[in-house]
Every structure is written in structure tokens, then in C-alpha cells.
């Protein structure tokens, strides 16, 4: 299977992020190409989640440049990243607990809705039409993730693995160009991991979505990612194809250990 990997879509140059005296990220540069699956690995506290938070605007690095589709990005708020077609899931599930699966995924399409609250109050014309159009899209996501049977269930009642899947659904509903996945397989059993891998590969394959992935399961990372970045104590210690990274001395010492 040959996959078409495009140009650089996201370019991070010399990113440094500090919280007071704590250096979370130090002078990190890497790029992400269109349609690829890019993994970020590293021990706990290496700055992986901070890196994702920088990409979608939750944290603002003190130094460095971020180029999105070739244009330099100014300081931005998270909702602006969403409007630039960057979606994400969280390490600790961040679903809207009080809402049903359907509503959670519908929320993912909020940037695409144009009707105003007055139209919503009257439930007339564009508001009603939009609800139906977006419902159709959302149902496609629900079909894709095979969660039809739970669409009306409040997410708080679902088991962990399904919640992770719903969260992926909410991110997918936005039809993002880039999807940031923060440990999508943490705490899953082998079967659930396989399902999740399949979904990630299918998303990448069918929709051409660029994926940036944080994951601790090295088997998964080496299998599905196109390129891997390795962080340790906020520094980049490795970058390249999975095989190159696997044999990198420093990466083995810092993270992988012997036996991989």
C-alpha cells in the first residue's frame, strides 16, 4: 500500500514553552506533512501533551514560530485552531458528561453552523434545516465508528473504551484537516486497541486526515505511524521513520530501554 504524503502542513520552529521557572519545551522543531500519521513519544513528563496544547492554541509558547499551511500563526485561542480545522481528543476523556452521544458529536460540528440563537429559538427555516443536514453528517460518523446502538445514551453511562470512541467521533464530526490524538489507546484492552487502531488508519486512509498521535504502546506506534518524534525532558532527542527511531541510541537509553 502506498500512501500519498503531501507537503508540510504544520511546521513548528524552535518552540520553547515555560511555566514560570519550569521549562516544559525547549527549542523543539519538527514538521507534519499532509496525510501522514505522525507520532510523538517519550517518557511521562516529556512535554508531549504540552506540545499538542501548543499546536491547538491552549498554551502559547514564549519562543518559536508555528507555520500552518505555510503562513505564520499569531497567538491564537483554542477556538480559532478549531476554525482552522484542527481537532483533538484528550488524554483524560473530555466529553460533555451531561449530554447524549448524539449531542456530543453534534457539538463537534458547531463551527460549521451558521444560524443564530434567534433562529434556534423559533426553530424555523435555516436553524431547522441545519439541524437536519448536520444530523446526517453526524450519523455518518456514528456509522463509521459503529456506535449506532448508543447514540441516545448519556455519555456518562458508557464504558471507558466507548467513551474514547465517542470522543474520536466528536473530533471527526468537525471534518478536520488535522487530528491531534492524545493517548487514544491508554487504558484499553488488546481488542479495544485493535479497534481504535483500525479507526485511526481508516480515518487517515478514507478522509486523508493528517494525524498527530501521542501513544505509549510502542507496538502500535511502530506499526501505524509514518514518522516519529521523540521527546525527553522537553527536548527533542529523535525524529524520523519508526525504524530509525527504534535504533537510535539516545532514544533507547531515554525511553525504549533494551528489548525493543
Contacts with another protein by CB under 8 A lie at 56, 58, 77-79, 81-83, 87-88, 90, 94-99, 103, 106-111, 113, 115, 117, 120-123, 127-128, 130-132, 135-136, 139, 170-171, 174
Q: What is the rounded CA–CA span in Å between residue 136 and residue 66?
A: 35
Q: What is the rounded CA–CA span in Å between residue 16 and residue 22?
A: 11
Nearer to another protein, 108 or 242 (CB): 108
Beta strands in 90-134 (DSSP E): none
3 state SS of 72 = strand
Q: Give the shortest CB-88-to-another protein separation in angstroms.
A: 6
Nearer to another protein, 70 or 156 (CB): 156
**Strands of 63-68's sheet, edge to edge?**
22-33, 8-19, 63-68, 71-72
- What the block records as the C-alpha cell of 242 is 519508526
Nearer to another protein, 87 or 221 (CB): 87
Q: Give the shortest CB-123-to-another protein separation in angstroms.
A: 4
Q: What is the rounded CA–CA span in Å between residue 2 and residue 67?
A: 27
- Establish how many alpha carbons lie within 13 A of residue 229's alpha carbon, considering only the half-sphere containing its beta carbon: 24
Q: Give the shortest CB-260-to-another protein separation in angstroms.
A: 33
Q: What is the rounded CA–CA span in Å between residue 54 and residue 17?
A: 9
Q: Give the shortest CB-134-to-another protein separation in angstroms.
A: 8
Q: Give the shortest CB-10-to-another protein separation in angstroms.
A: 16
Nearer to another protein, 118 or 190 (CB): 118
Q: Which residue has the cell 527511531?
A: 245
CB-count exposure of residue 17 (10 Å: 0-12, 13-18, 19+): buried
Q: Give the shortest CB-116-to-another protein separation in angstroms.
A: 8
Q: Give the shortest CB-211-to-another protein separation in angstroms.
A: 16
Nearer to another protein, 29 or 115 (CB): 115
Nearer to another protein, 118 or 258 (CB): 118
Nearer to another protein, 95 or 230 (CB): 95
Q: What is the rounded CA–CA span in Å between residue 82 and residue 174?
A: 8
- What the block records as the C-alpha cell of 21 is 521557572
Contact 97, 154 (CB under 8 A): yes
Amino acid at each position: 500500500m502506498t500512501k500519498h504524503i503531501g507537503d508540510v502542513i504544520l511546521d513548528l520552529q524552535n518552540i520553547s514553552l515555560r511555566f514560570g521557572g519550569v521549562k516544559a519545551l525547549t527549542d523543539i522543531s519538527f514538521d507534519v506533512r499532509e496525510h501522514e500519521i505522525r507520532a510523538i513519544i517519550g517518557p511521562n513528563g516529556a512535554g508531549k501533551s504540552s506540545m499538542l496544547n501548543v499546536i491547538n492554541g491552549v498554551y502559547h509558547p514564549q519562543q518559536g514560530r508555528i507555520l500552518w499551511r505555510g503562513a505564520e500563526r499569531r497567538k491564537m485561542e483554542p477556538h480559532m485552531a478549531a476554525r482552522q480545522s484542527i481537532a483533538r481528543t484528550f488524554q483524560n476523556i473530555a466529553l460533555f458528561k451531561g449530554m447524549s452521544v448524539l449531542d456530543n458529536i453534534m457539538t463537534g460540528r458547531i463551527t460549521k453552523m451558521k444560524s443564530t440563537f434567534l433562529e434556534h429559538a423559533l426553530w424555523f427555516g435555516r436553524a431547522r434545516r441545519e439541524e437536519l443536514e448536520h444530523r446526517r453528517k453526524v450519523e455518518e460518523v456514528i456509522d463509521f465508528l459503529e456506535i449506532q446502538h448508543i447514540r441516545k445514551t448519556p455519555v456518562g453511562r458508557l464504558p471507558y473504551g466507548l467513551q474514547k470512541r465517542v470522543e474520536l467521533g466528536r473530533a471527526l464530526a468537525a471534518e478536520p484537516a488535522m487530528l491531534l490524538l492524545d493517548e487514544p489507546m491508554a487504558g484499553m484492552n488488546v481488542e479495544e486497541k485493535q479497534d481504535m487502531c483500525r479507526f485511526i488508519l481508516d480515518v487517515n486512509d478514507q478522509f486523508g486526515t493528517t494525524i498527530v498521535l501521542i501513544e505509549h504502546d510502542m507496538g502500535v506506534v511502530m506499526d501505524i505511524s509514518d514518522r516519529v518524534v521523540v521527546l525527553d525532558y522537553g527536548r527533542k532527542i529523535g525524529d524520523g521513520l519508526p525504524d530509525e527511531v527504534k535504533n537510535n541510541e539516545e532514544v533507547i537509553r531515554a525511553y525504549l530501554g533494551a528489548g525493543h
